[in-house]
């Protein structure tokens, strides 16, 4: 049965946020265990799958709940306040859906793929950020397709992923170096995972390295070909839909840090003068992050935008500024609470560790500044 063939299809954002609050204590408890064990938040994912979160954004005509892009960002912010790793992993799945929903709305393609996600409740794994423009790996022609070998790092939720959405460079005899994009089942012969996701923060995202060893990719699985090293116009769509979703969990972390700091200060009978200044600083940096995130979401306009080069530049610049504001929020929260925040038993310690991942998402600050500078000089 389609998971959305019930009242969920008729409910607004409030339904999903209330549902997260109902599930929140369990999501949080599970998240703490997985953070300690360096393991994927698999039980939280079962909860999300059971309650329709993985297919919620897919249009109703294709079997989803039709949750707007803007609302999905709000949902991810909310989940992050209970378990940041769960929210970040889910954002990676959602951004692949958003790309295909954009294609469905603007190009009339991607519908069959989205239906399959609904019918099988698939978990999607992306390697796009790490691959960027050049990609990596080796690809050779064979009968009716290709044999590919590669090492793909930072593949979030690969621990239980169903479908890997990736790319490999290929030296075409006639057209020269290209990058070919394709999905491939995580159960395919030649695919294995390394147990190497042992990190400072976001330990529950299951972002293990995926190894492809002579994996066969049929010719008809290739969904996109582009020149290697060149920035394709469609990348502006990918960046524009992906980054507001991926940044949403970090907004949630920052909001939670602000809440903890405020509650801690209110519980004290006396407060040093500097703590009220610090609290004001936290509020300012959080406000900046939220305003930037809101602006990113408005640029997406619920997926009603055109693929233009300037839009990717705008999104990337806002991502850098937002990331810095979120980090500042948590840093100031640690300073405000003081030494207690350094203890593992105190939640701020984990929020601080998880926040350190924000700068590694596409594009890191200096690469973004270089990318933007080159665009401005054209």
Answer with the residue of higher pLDDT: 373 or 12: 373
pTM: 0.95
| Count of other CB atoms within 10 angstroms of residue 207 | 26
Of 122, 142, 158, the last residue of a domain is 122
Pair (210, 312) in one structural domain: no
Pair (112, 139) in one structural domain: no
- pLDDT at residue 268, as a whole number: 82
Does any domain span residue 205? Answer: yes
- pLDDT at residue 130, as a whole number: 76
Does any domain span residue 71? Answer: yes
- pLDDT at residue 10, as a whole number: 47
Does any domain span residue 215? Answer: yes
Domain hosting 361: range is 235-377
Does any domain span residue 166? Answer: yes
CATH number (domain holding residue 140): 2.40.110.10
Pair (118, 132) in one structural domain: no
Query: For residue 363, is the peptide bond before it cis, meaning its omega torsion is within 30 degrees of 0?
Result: yes
Pair (207, 262) in one structural domain: no
Rg (CA), the chain: 21
User: CA 154, 155, 158: angle at the middle one, nearest 5?
Assistant: 140
Pair (111, 245) in one structural domain: no
- pLDDT at residue 2, as a whole number: 54
Helix residue ranges, H only, the chain: 13-37, 42-50, 69-80, 84-106, 111-120, 128-131, 235-266, 273-300, 309-337, 347-355, 365-377
Of 122, 141, 169, the last residue of a domain is 122
Residue 296 has pLDDT above 80, yes or no: yes
Does any domain span residue 315? Answer: yes
CA distance 279 to 198: 33
What does the pLDDT look like over 19-37, one tens digit per residue?
999 999 999 999 999 999 9
- Output the CA–CA distances (angstroms, integers) from residue 351 to 63, 363, 366, in the order listed: 36, 22, 24
- pLDDT at residue 1, as a whole number: 42
What does the pLDDT look like over 47-103, one tens digit per residue?
999 999 999 999 999 999 999 999 999 999 999 999 999 999 999 999 999 999 999
Number of domains the chain contains:
3
Residue 212 has pLDDT above 90, yes or no: yes
Pair (251, 373) in one structural domain: yes
Pair (366, 245) in one structural domain: yes
Q: What is the mean pLDDT of residues 117-140?
A: 92
Pair (12, 57) in one structural domain: yes
Of 100, 122, 144, the last residue of a domain is 122
Pair (249, 357) in one structural domain: yes
- pLDDT at residue 272, as a whole number: 79
97: its two tokens: 């859906």
User: Three-class SS of residue 301?
Assistant: helix
Residue 3 has pLDDT above 90, yes or no: no
What does the pLDDT look like over 219-258, one tens digit per residue?
999 999 999 999 999 999 999 999 999 999 999 999 999 9
> What is the Cα 35 distance to its own chain's centre?
18
The mean predicted confidence, pLDDT, of the chain is 95
Does any domain span residue 1? Answer: no
Does any domain span residue 2? Answer: no
CATH number (domain holding residue 279): 1.20.140.10
186: its two tokens: 């995580």
Residue 136 has pLDDT above 60, yes or no: yes
- pLDDT at residue 217, as a whole number: 98
Instruction: Sort strands 124-126 and 176-185 into parallel, antiparallel or unpaired.
Output: unpaired
CATH number (domain holding residue 12): 1.10.540.10
Pair (276, 320) in one structural domain: yes
**Secondary structure of 173-238 in HEC code, one letter for each residue:** CCCEEEEEEEEEECCCCCEEECCCCCCCCCHHHCCCCEEEEEEEEEHHHCCEEEECCCCCCCHHHH
Pair (98, 171) in one structural domain: no
Position of tokens 């397709």? 145
| Count of other CB atoms within 10 angstroms of residue 80 | 26
Does any domain span residue 93? Answer: yes
Pair (32, 114) in one structural domain: yes
């Amino acid at each position: 049965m389609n998971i959305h063939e019930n009242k969920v299809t008729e409910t607004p954002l409030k339904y999903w946020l209330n549902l997260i609050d109902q599930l929140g204590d369990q999501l949080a408890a599970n998240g703490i265990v997985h953070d300690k064990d360096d393991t994927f938040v698999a039980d939280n994912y079962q909860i999300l799958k059971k309650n329709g979160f993985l297919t919620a954004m897919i249009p109703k005509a294709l079997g989803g709940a039709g949750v707007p892009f803007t609302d999905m960002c709000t949902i991810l912010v909310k989940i992050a306040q209970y378990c940041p790793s769960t929210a970040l992993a889910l954002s990676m799945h959602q951004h692949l859906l958003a790309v295909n929903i954009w294609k469905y709305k603007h190009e009339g393609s991607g519908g069959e793929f989205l239906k399959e996600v609904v019918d099988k409740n698939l978990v999607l794994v992306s390697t796009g950020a790490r691959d960027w423009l050049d990609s990596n790996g080796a690809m050779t022609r064979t009968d009716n397709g290709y044999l590919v070998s590669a090492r793909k790092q930072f593949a979030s939720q690969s621990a239980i992923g169903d479908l890997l959405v990736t790319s490999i460079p290929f030296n075409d005899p006639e057209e020269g170096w290209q990058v070919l994009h394709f999905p491939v089942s995580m159960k395919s012969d030649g695919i294995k995972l390394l147990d190497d996701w042992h990190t400072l923060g976001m330990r529950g995202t299951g972002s293990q390295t995926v190894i492809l060893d002579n994996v066969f990719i049929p010719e008809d699985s290739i969904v996109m070909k582009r020149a290697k090293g060149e920035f394709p116009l469609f990348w502006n769509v990918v960046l524009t839909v992906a980054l507001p979703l991926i940044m949403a969990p970090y907004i949630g972390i920052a909001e939670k840090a602000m809440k903890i700091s405020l509650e801690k200060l209110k519980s004290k009978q006396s407060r040093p003068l500097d703590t009220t200044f610090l609290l004001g600083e936290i509020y300012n940096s959080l406000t900046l992050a939220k305003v930037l995130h809101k602006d990113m979401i408005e640029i997406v306009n619920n997926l009603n935008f055109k693929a233009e080069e300037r839009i990717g530049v705008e999104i990337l610049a806002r991502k850098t500024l937002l990331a810095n504001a979120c980090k500042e929020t948590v840093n100031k929260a640690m300073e405000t609470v003081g030494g207690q925040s350094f203890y593992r038993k105190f939640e701020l310690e984990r929020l601080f560790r998880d926040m350190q991942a924000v700068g590694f998402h596409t594009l890191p600050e200096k690469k973004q500044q270089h990318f933007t500078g080159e665009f401005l000089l054209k």
